[in-house]
């Protein structure tokens, strides 16, 4: 996994769209990764998306601004 903030998603996932809008509203830079691009991601995140990752740590949905902020602070 990357040390960049990453949002695992897939097309047609309304929860993923909500998560992306939240991150955009927070002004965060992140990498958007479709789980269908690699079998390992599909197997790992299929029923868990959206999932936010950073440096090997994960934050699964549901999350809000406070939870994302706390996650980012805890990973530093």
The pLDDT, as a whole number, for residue 76 is 79
SS3 34: strand
pLDDT, tens digit (0-9, with 9 covering 90-100), for 7-62: 999 999 999 999 999 999 999 999 999 999 999 999 999 999 999 999 999 999 99
6-75 sits in which CATH class? Answer: alpha beta
Asked whether 54 and 68 are in contact (CB, 8 A), the reply is no
Domain-wise residue ranges, the chain: 6-75
Three-state SS at 7: strand
pTM (2 d.p.)? 0.92
C-alpha distances (whole Å) from 29 to each of 25, 26, 32, 46 are: 11, 9, 10, 24
């Amino acid at each position: 996994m990357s040390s960049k903030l990453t949002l695992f998603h897939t097309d047609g996932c309304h929860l993923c769209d909500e998560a992306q809008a939240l991150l955009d509203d927070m002004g965060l830079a992140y990498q958007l990764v479709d789980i269908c691009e690699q079998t390992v991601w599909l197997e790992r995140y299929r029923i868990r998306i959206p999932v936010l990752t950073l440096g090997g740590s994960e934050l699964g949905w549901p999350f809000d601004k406070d939870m994302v902020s706390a996650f980012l602070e805890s990973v530093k």
